[in-house]
């Protein structure tokens, strides 16, 4: 079977047309304290305020709304730890499509509860002993359902790219750099395509949690590499084992580099977002902000945009993270 063709900038603009009036055009924020404390001009794209609490709805709706009547009748299957699950569930509910989501049994309760509330069926699996893709493909083979990947799909990538399209359209000044929370690379690839069309001089950086920095390592080696299966991270939304095939093909030649943050730095960023920005961020949604606050960005980048990619966090984890983050910053 041939690989799907890579999306381009025109696919991003077409996705924006499909999402107009459906997705939230999330705000681009600035904060005086953040600018003063970093000595830079920082712009924050608050995708935590998107439908279902993350950017994932964009790609899911762009994929599902293009299904044929026969494909819609067969239903869809996706695998996700929570954010893609909720995006697919909502898009499917809007379009009248049956959705099943293969989710790890240890996914945050809030993500499982919200996915069910949107009408999707959950198929649980053990992320340490079972393969979610094999489970999904067997279900699809059995009854003909359509698989909706979380990142390695041209329609998903194009939909995610509408985030950056809005960002570049709304930002009042040229940007030196754009920092993107990264797992499989779909949001990053969409941002790369949008930057190529609207702001080609902006340096693009992936940001990943320590131990799951497969993009940073892959860019350095010039090939896709995998993370150590034995490691773990607080950032449950960013645990993809390796960059996607399509996403890496797009990102490899377009990125300025990969940044890596620790769970401790992520907790500090979550506390900062709550205390100074009045925003709730999940750990994976805070990694790009963490990179700025921890001084991971070279000083020559003075005008920076940061993607706050999600806010779906268990209340207990949020409380503990903010408490720890506040104590660390004292």
The residue ranges of every structural domain in the chain are 9-55+153-329, 57-147
pLDDT tens per residue, range 268-318: 999 999 999 999 999 999 999 999 999 999 999 999 999 999 999 999 999
> Cα 162 to the chain's mean position, in Å?
12
Q: Give yes or no on whether 9-55+153-329 and 57-147 have one common fold.
A: yes
Residues 232-247: what's their mean pLDDT? 93
Q: Using one digit for the tens of pLDDT, what is the confidence trace for 5-26?
A: 899 999 999 999 999 999 999 9
Which residues are catalytic, by number? Answer: 56, 309
21-35 average pLDDT score:
98
Q: What is the pLDDT of residues 140-192, one digit of tens each?
A: 999 999 999 999 999 999 999 999 999 999 999 999 999 999 999 999 999 99
According to DSSP, residue 119 is labeled T
The pLDDT value recorded for residue 3 is: 61
Contacts of 73 (CB under 8 A, 6+ apart): none
Domain 57-147 has CATH 3.40.50.1100: yes
115 CB-near residues (< 8 Å, 6+ apart): 82, 85, 86, 89, 101, 103, 122
**Top-level CATH class of 9-55+153-329?**
alpha beta
Q: What is the pLDDT of residues 48-104, one digit of tens each?
A: 999 999 999 999 999 999 999 999 999 999 999 889 999 999 999 999 999 999 998
pLDDT band at 235, cuts 50/70/90?
very high
Cβ partners under 8 Å of residue 328, min gap 6: 264, 267, 268, 271
Phi-psi region of 52 (alpha: psi -120 to 50; beta: other; left: phi over 0): left
State the pLDDT at residue 36: 96
């Amino acid at each position: 079977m041939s690989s799907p063709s890579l999306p381009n900038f025109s696919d991003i603009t077409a996705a924006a047309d499909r999402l107009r009036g459906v997705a939230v055009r999330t705000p681009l924020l600035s904060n005086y304290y953040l600018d003063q404390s970093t000595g830079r001009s920082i712009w924050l794209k608050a995708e935590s305020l998107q439908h279902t609490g993350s950017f994932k709805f964009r790609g899911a709706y762009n994929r599902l709304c293009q299904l044929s009547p026969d494909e819609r009748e067969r239903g869809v299957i996706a695998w996700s730890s929570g954010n893609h699950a909720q995006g697919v569930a909502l898009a499917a509910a809007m379009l009248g499509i049956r959705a099943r989501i293969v989710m790890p049994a240890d996914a945050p309760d809030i993500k499982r509860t919200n996915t069910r509330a949107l009408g999707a069926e959950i198929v649980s699996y053990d992320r340490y002993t079972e393969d979610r893709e094999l489970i999904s493909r067997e279900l699809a083979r059995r009854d003909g359902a359509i698989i909706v990947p979380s990142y390695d799909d041209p329609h998903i990538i194009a939909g995610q790219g509408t985030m950056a399209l809005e960002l570049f359209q709304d930002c009042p000044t040229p940007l030196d750099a754009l920092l993107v929370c990264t797992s499989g690379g779909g949001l990053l690839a969409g941002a790369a395509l949008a930057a190529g069309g609207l702001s080609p001089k902006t340096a693009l950086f992936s940001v990943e949690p320590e131990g799951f920095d497969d993009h940073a390592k892959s860019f350095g080696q010039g090939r896709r590499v995998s993370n150590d299966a034995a490691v773990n991270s607080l950032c449950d939304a960013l645990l993809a084992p390796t960059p996607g095939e399509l996403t890496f093909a797009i990102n490899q030649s377009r990125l300025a580099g990969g940044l890596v943050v620790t769970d401790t730095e992520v907790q500090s960023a979550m506390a900062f977002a709550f205390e100074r920005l009045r925003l709730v961020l999940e750990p994976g949604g805070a990694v790009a902000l963490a990179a700025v606050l921890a001084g991971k960005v070279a000083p020559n980048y003075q005008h920076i945009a940061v993607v706050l990619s999600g806010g779906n966090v268990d209340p207990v984890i949020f409380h503990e993270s903010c408490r720890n983050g506040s104590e660390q910053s004292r």
